[in-house]
Amino acid sequence: MKVMKFGGTSVGSVNSILSVKRIVESAGEPVIVVVSALGGITDKLINTSKMAAAGDSAYEGEFREIVYRHVEMIKEVIPAGAGQVALQRQIGELLNELKDIFQGIYLIRDLSPKTSDTIVSYGERLSSIIVAELIDEAKWFDSRTFIKTEKKHNKHTIDADLTNQLVKEAFHSIPKVSLVPGFISSDKVSGDVTNLGRGGSDYTAAIIAAALDASSLEIWTDVDGFMTADPRVISTAYTISELSYVEATELCNFGAKVVYPPTIYPVCHKNIPIIIKNTFNPDGVGTVIKQETSNPQSKAIKGISSINDTSLITVQGLGMVGVIGVNYRIFKALAKNGISVFLVSQASSENSTSIGVRNADADLACEVLNEEFAKEIEMGEISPILAERNLATVAIVGENMKHTPGIAGKLFGTLGRNGINVIACAQGASETNISFVVDSKSLRKSLNVIHDSFFLSEYQVLHPPLTGNRFQFAIVLVSRRCSD
């Protein structure tokens, strides 16, 4: 048995949803299919509820578009007849409920988190019953009855033990095709509808795959898999055929939006491979994520990811040297205020600690740190804390970096030769990731030169120039680099 998850774009258009039907029906083993809402619907549900809460009557027009998308989809993909009529009726009932909820919000001008969670759940509830009708012999399951959350730190978090047990019970016998709405869940105490966070359908699929010891978890999306770099920036980026769980986690936690980061852990734990596939190019190889990748000698790094939204905050001062507890106080103050830190760098002199945060968190981070160290700042032991904004963080990722000398040398040498200044850098002892911060204006160039430096020869093997003339090919790349 395998689990297949189809994202919003895969179920978002007539052609793609018909392709989903073909892909599922040709599987040679029982499958559990997890689907997202039709592409763009979750955003639209959120937007419509915000408009209604703000008293903007134009929310009705937005709502009508939501109705239209679903009704038209059914007309196009479900053959006319009793099945289509029954499905239109079922969808109509759900949409009527939704209409009443929007009207209630509009009348009382209030949108609580609970109401918002209820509204977004309709996206997956609607899409999943359409796909269940579309696919031969598919049986629909309600994920709210077995994906259970509890409230922790004001967030809905999965109750793994309870969910595992309930998933096993729900699927004690597995039909040929099971159809499950992704993303949605319910609170284990109140039963209120909750969800696993934006992009959470991947996570639903992973939880089910792990609980049932599936042979594999397939994530069907609109790209061929993980790429060596962002293809919108690097035209020569190509699909990575294999990644380890660690590498995939590093890449998707940081910039690469191919899978929702929490997805990897449950299946990694059970050693179930994740296969990323493209619904729009089902014959493509995709990316396989597993424990051990074959040919470990192949490449030092597997991919480059980046975040163009970085502020660097540096706590520095001679008064910090050798003082115990400075870092403890920095992280405590940030954590108490809900600020996430994604990069830390401290030199061994202990004279400064730099931390990378999102631009939106920079003001608050400075404020709480200036407050925490007010006494030391007044005494001149620590300098007033300021943020350097509009920076970008780049990470190179690969498990083969471990114990391989020269990777950092090659990286920083390449940046230096191209006149790119590194503002801060960090490498953990796990040696699977080297991250560095540059001015955002240098991001494009940094990605280009690093990608060329680590992947160009590989790219040439995979995509030999049409003319067969390597020299000409090199000139094209060099000129692109100069014009960047």
Q: For residues 7 and 286, which CB has a smaller minimum distance to Mg ion in the complex? A: 7
Q: How far is the CB of 44 from ligand ASP (least distance, A)?
A: 10
Q: How far apart are the first and last CA of the chain?
A: 49
Q: How far is the CB of 9 from ligand ASP (least distance, A)?
A: 10
Taking the C-alpha atoms of residue 204 and residue 263, their distance in angstroms, rounded to an integer, is: 8
Phi, psi values for residue 167, rounded to 5°? -65, -45
The option from Mg ion, ligand ASP, none interacting with 198 (CB < 5 to 8 A, set by class) reads: ligand ASP
Taking the C-alpha atoms of residue 483 and residue 479, their distance in angstroms, rounded to an integer, is: 6
Beta-strand relationship, 148-152 and 184-187: parallel
Site for ligand ASP in 93-152 (CB under 6 A): 123
Number of residues that bind ligand ASP (CB under 6 A): 12
Q: Which residues pair with 387 in a beta bridge?
A: 313
Q: For residues 34 and 396, which CB has a smaller minimum distance to Mg ion in the complex? A: 34
By CB under 6 A, residue 262 contacts ligand ASP: no
The option from Mg ion, ligand ASP, none interacting with 42 (CB < 5 to 8 A, set by class) reads: ligand ASP
Phi, psi values for residue 384, rounded to 5°? -55, 140
The option from ligand ASP, Mg ion, none interacting with 182 (CB < 5 to 8 A, set by class) reads: ligand ASP
By CB under 6 A, residue 6 contacts ligand ASP: no
By CB under 6 A, residue 286 contacts ligand ASP: no
What is the full DSSP assignment across 126-183?
A: HHHHHHHHHSTTEEE--GGGT-EEEEETTEEEE-HHHHHHHHHHHTSS--SEEEEESS
Q: How far is the CB of 253 from ligand ASP (least distance, A)?
A: 17
By CB under 6 A, residue 201 contacts ligand ASP: yes
Beta-strand relationship, 424-427 and 433-439: antiparallel
Which helix (DSSP H) or strand (DSSP E) does residue 370 occupy?
helix 362-372
Binding track over 30-59 against ligand ASP, x by CB under 6 A: ------xx----x-----------------
Q: How far is the CB of 184 from ligand ASP (least distance, A)?
A: 9
C-beta nearest to Mg ion: residue: 199
By CB under 6 A, residue 198 contacts ligand ASP: yes
Site for ligand ASP in 350-389 (CB under 6 A): none
Q: How far is the CB of 260 from Mg ion (least distance, A)?
A: 6
Helices (H) and strands (E) in the chain, counts: 15, 18
- Select the span of 14-22, 138-146, 198-206, 370-378 touching ligand ASP (CB under 6 A): 198-206
Q: How far is the CB of 200 from ligand ASP (least distance, A)?
A: 5
- Select the span of 195-203, 306-314, 388-396, 442-450 touching ligand ASP (CB under 6 A): 195-203
- The CA-CA-CA angle for residues 120, 125, 128, to 5°, reads 130
Taking the C-alpha atoms of residue 266 and residue 254, their distance in angstroms, rounded to an integer, is: 19
What is the full DSSP assignment across 46-113?
A: HHHHHHHHTT-TTHHHHHHHHHHHHHHHHHHHSPTTHHHHHHHHHHHHHHHHHHHHHHHHHHHT---H
CA distances in angstroms from 233 to 230, 305, 309, listed in the order given? 6, 11, 16
Please identify which residue in 59, 186, 193, 200 interacts with ligand ASP, judged by CB under 6 A: 200
SS3 234: coil
Taking the C-alpha atoms of residue 231 and residue 226, their distance in angstroms, rounded to an integer, is: 10
Q: How far is the CB of 164 from Mg ion (least distance, A)?
A: 23
- Select the span of 63-71, 197-205, 245-253, 417-425 touching ligand ASP (CB under 6 A): 197-205
Instruction: Using CB under 5 A, list all residues that contact Mg ion.
Output: 7, 199
Instruction: Summarize as ranges the residues that interact with ligand ASP (CB under 6 A).
Output: 7-8, 36-37, 42, 123, 182-183, 198-201
